[in-house]
Amino acid sequence: MKTTFGQSTRGYPKIVLLLRPPGVYRADSDTSLLIRVLREGGYAAGRNVLDIGTGTGALALAAARAGAASVTAVDLSLRSVAAAWLNTRLHRVRCAVHHGDLFEPVAGKRFDLILANPPYVPAATNMLPRHRITRCWDAGLDGRAVLDRICTGGPALLAPGGLMLLVHSAVCDDDVTLRRLADAGLHAEVLTRATVPFGPVMRLRAAMLEARGLVEPGQRDEELVVIGARHAG
């Protein structure tokens, strides 16, 4: 029920205690890497922040603690919405938490900063899971089912000069993300990369990923990439 995130030995953010009901994503190295970029870049201070796919609320909490003017969080999973609501309140942080599909609950609003650690693990099928923990990571055959929707739908919610920070594995191709964001009118670049060992899901899928040429034979680590995409303003 409880989880921690952050690995201070690798320069990642300090550990924060979060409640995590079954079925909610355990904040992991992707979460920590995005938080590190957020803090080091000073991107949240004074900004109106949206956390898409909030899970436990780890990113929303980090944004609030980094001085965000307001924080809004969205998740498709009711359990995640409940967890994020509880965690932000337990940490005495103001955060509006919405249930729904990506940008739908906040349609028509504008944010200075959008954070996303979406599902990005290539799956056996293009069918997206609806009711299980797997919806935290399964993202279609190429791992881009949710990521591509964020690249195309996110820019409309960015205020002039606003920034989107995205984290995902290089296994689902960061060049494609950069192209999609540029096509949507943003100036996008890779802000940081970090190599981490495969987690349990990637380990289970290693043979499938090798067979599809998405990882090298014997490869058992992956590169995480944080991409920043700025609205021209």
Ligand X SMILES: C[S@@+](CC[C@H](N)C(=O)[O-])C[C@H]1O[C@@H](n2cnc3c(N)ncnc32)[C@H](O)[C@@H]1O
Nearest distance from C-beta of residue 144 to ligand X, angstroms? 13
122 with 171: CB under 8 angstroms? yes
Burial of 206 by CB count in 10 Å (0-12 exposed, 13-18 middle, 19+ buried)? middle
Measured CA to CA, the distance from residue 115 to residue 142 in angstroms comes to 22
Site membership for ligand X, residue 16 (CB under 6 A): no
* Distance of alpha carbon 227 from alpha carbon 190, whole angstroms: 4
Nearer to ligand X, 12 or 187 (CB): 12
Write out the DSSP string of 65-124.
Answer: HTT-SEEEEEES-HHHHHHHHHHHHHTT---EEEESSTTGGGTT--EEEEEE----B--S
Which amino acid belongs to residue 156? A
Contact flag: residue 157 with ligand X (CB under 6 A): no
- Interface pick for ligand X out of 13, 16, 20, 25 (rule CB under 6 A): 25
Q: Is 88 in the site for ligand X (CB under 6 A)?
A: no
Which residue from 101, 189, 221, 223 is in contact with ligand X, where contact means CB under 6 A? 101
Does 55 bind ligand X (CB under 6 A)? Our answer is: yes
Q: Is 178 in the site for ligand X (CB under 6 A)?
A: no
Which region, judged by CB under 6 A, interacts with ligand X, from 8-16, 41-49, 106-114, 115-123? 115-123
Interaction between residue 95 and ligand X (CB under 6 A): no
Tokens of 170: 């290089």
Give the residue among 35, 46, 41 at the shortest CA–CA distance from 12: 35
The binder of ligand X chosen from 3, 29, 54, 88 (CB under 6 A): 54
Residue numbers at the binding site for ligand X (CB under 6 A): 25, 27, 31, 53-56, 58-59, 74-77, 80, 101-102, 117-119, 135-137, 146
